[in-house]
Structure 1
Amino acid sequence: MQKKLVLVFFLIWAGSQIQAQFLTRERILNDENFDKKSWSWGYYFGINRYDFNFDYKEDRPDIYVEQNYGFNVGLLGNKRINEYLDLRFEPGLVYNARTLFYLDIPGDENDRIRELNSTYIHFPLLLKFSTKRLNNFKPFVVGGFSYSHNLSSNEKNPDDNSSGQFRMTNNTFYYEVGFGIDLYLPYFKFSPSIRGVFALSDELVRDEDPNSLYTSNIEVMQSRGIFLNFTFQ
């Protein structure tokens, strides 16, 4: 529900900006040569919300994931290919926290709960497809692949869930898709966007015990998330 509210808020805000542009009689173009540069640079910050997608081996109670909002911040390098296509590299830092609840594991609360605090160094390489500039805004869609290194994965930790330690892989590959709007302001370009991020690889490091209640029934565990970014160029 919260994801939907964020999306609705963004669409309403973006729609109001577009409407304002169309209804403005004096259409003075801000920095009309901005997109003619071969290279442009910027930075971004935003919020994220991560989940897990589980595939199970047997029909047992699902693992419940409590999602929390995190933050993302990074830099942007943009290479113009033509009027409608750009190549973007957006290295950044992503932080998020998730909590897993194992509803079918006996014991006290500490046995059923695993808290995962993840800090990623994130490297997206994306293609940006834009429409023709309309007054001082330009809608776009973006897609591509990314790699992240999880600084909090504990992949090499010899302790596992028998000692209360849930482990994930250090390295993960993703595909990303999203959309946004470039708004050309008098002194810079501001680009709000929404993006979905989906892991391509299994991120679970399994327990030493092949019958572990925490990992034995998981076939694949993959992150998926939604990013709301605000980019300044």
Structure 2
Amino acid sequence: MKKYLILALVLFCALPAQAQLFGGEKVINSPNFDKQRFSWGYFLGFNTYDFDIDYKNYIASPATGKDFSVDRTIGFNVGMIGNMRLGEHLDLRLEPGVSFNRINFQFTKADQKTFREINSTFVHVPLLLKFSTTRINNFKPFVVGGVSTSINLSSNENNPDDNDDGQFRMTTNNYYYEIGFGIDLYLYYFKFTPSIRGVFAINDEFVRDDNPNNFYSGNVDKMSSRGLFLNFTFQ
């Protein structure tokens, strides 16, 4: 899935770029857009999540090679953007939003298997630096990176039940670093920006079960989520 998303974005960005570089287009849309000190917008997009898991002992299932197996699904993102121009090629961006996703999660050890469907809703707040190239006609590539925090509204962190009772628990407050790339396309009425970004949790998000040696959490040293975001921004 990641490969298809990246390929779709590259093709999508390459077509207008090729048209402007080699088609002789001379009309410049919104020539003063990037001279604004502050600008605003919103984004819509898709996400897919899984977990980066460190084990205490690698006594994994022969079939999967892991104690836990994760099946990614496609989720949805929506949010707002506040952009502050710091210089000709540098912007500071705040992108508060909400993301919805589901992870199909299976515990496997010896002859035991347990399936969990983890539905999550995150209030996600990134603070990012955007490094842009010089604008060429009506497009401008960029890379972006920074840090973020989120509130997992579906974490179950304070639920007294654990996996023995059928409840998977994660921490509510989490912290990430992010890195990605995209391209600004200057259309007649607005600026449209497709981008891809990797999101990687810094903290351990797994809330251990009451029994430290049980089947579910006894062998987990650290579990951190990681995601791929494909966003479409309108400014």
TM-score bracket, shorter-length normalisation: over 0.9
TM-score w.r.t. length of structure 1 = 0.96
Tell me the matched-pair count: 229
> CA shift at 1:26, angstroms?
3.5
2:36 — aligned with what?
A: 37
SS in 1 for 2:109: coil
> CA deviation digits over 1:4-27, x for unaligned, max 9?
011112112211121011123231
Runs of 4+ in 1 over 6 A off after TM superposition: none
Kindly indicate whether residue 48 of structure 2 is the aligned counterpart of residue 49 of structure 1. Answer: yes
Kindly indicate whether residue 87 of structure 2 is the aligned counterpart of residue 85 of structure 1. Answer: no
- 163, 166, 171: which one aligns with 2:165: 163
> CA shift at 1:29, angstroms?
0.5
> CA deviation digits over 1:126-170, x for unaligned, max 9?
000000100000000000000000000000000001101010000
SS in 2 for 1:59: coil
Instruction: Please identify, of 30-39 and 55-64, the stretch whose mean Cα deviation from structure 2 is larger.
Output: 55-64
**Structure 1 unaligned runs (5+)?**
none
Q: Is the 8 A contact 1:106 1:112 kept in 2?
A: no
Q: Is the 8 A contact 2:196 2:229 kept in 1?
A: yes
1:22 — aligned with what?
A: 21
**Counterpart of 1:175 in structure 2: which amino acid?**
Y
- 88, 111, 114: which one aligns with 1:112: 114
Kindly indicate whether residue 143 of structure 2 is the aligned counterpart of residue 141 of structure 1. Answer: yes
**Structure 2 unaligned runs (5+)?**
61-65
Kindly indicate whether residue 194 of structure 2 is the aligned counterpart of residue 195 of structure 1. Answer: no
CA distance in structure 1 between the partners assigned to 2:89 and 2:215 by the alignment: 51
What is the Cα-based RMSD across aligned positions, in Å? 1.0
1:152 — aligned with what?
A: 154
> CA deviation digits over 1:8-66, x for unaligned, max 9?
12112211121011123231110100000000000001000001000000112211001
| Percent identity over paired residues | 56
